[in-house]
Amino acid sequence: MMRIPFLIFCILPLFASAQLSLGETKQQIHQEIKQKLKEHTNSHHKLTETDSSLVLAITSANKSKVVYSYKFNANGYCSQQKITNDSDKAMQMQMDEILSVKKYNWKKINENQYISDFESGLILEFPPENTEHSLIIIKTEWTKEFYELLLSQ
């Protein structure tokens, strides 16, 4: 019963800025993570890095887990984030937090996807059968025609 509140109040606020990391370089995200981990020593974390990805897995003292995965494009900028939680409730709260960012003007296009305004170029999606309790945010450069097509669905 205490797992969700601990996750919400200790881990999610720790990385609230990670939701806005699309378009940043790996170095920027890496430094952001390092700084935040210095401030919170009560959780166990594992940071894995490759040329095109960065994965941060955090386990709290009560074993709640959240994983932040970042993928980088050929130019070295974050083009995709995946956030995986250990429950649907934690995933839903994470999604609600992302959707509450007013500057993106999120619009629901179907049961599993939201798109931001044209200029921001973001897609938020979660799998229909979300056994992994995850959501994905993708930075895209769509055409005006494609964006209008998405809105008309």
Strands (E), the chain: 44-49, 53-59, 65-72, 78-85, 107-110, 113-115, 122-125, 134-139
| pLDDT for position 92 | 84
Per-residue pLDDT, averaged over 126-152, amounts to 87
Is the pLDDT score of 36 beyond 60?
Answer: yes
- pLDDT digits 0-9 by tens, 56-87: 888 877 777 889 999 999 999 999 999 998 88
Mean pLDDT check: name the lowest of 8-17, 19-28, 78-87. Answer: 8-17
Q: Is 44 helix (H, G, I), strand (E, B) or coil?
A: strand
* Structural contact between residues 80 and 88, judged by C-beta atoms closer than 8 angstroms: no
Domain boundaries, the chain: 3-151
Q: Is the dihedral of CA 11, 13, 19, 24 positive or negative?
A: negative
| pLDDT for position 11 | 40
**CA atoms of 20 and 118, how far apart (whole Å):** 16
| pLDDT for position 16 | 40
**CA atoms of 51 and 56, how far apart (whole Å):** 15
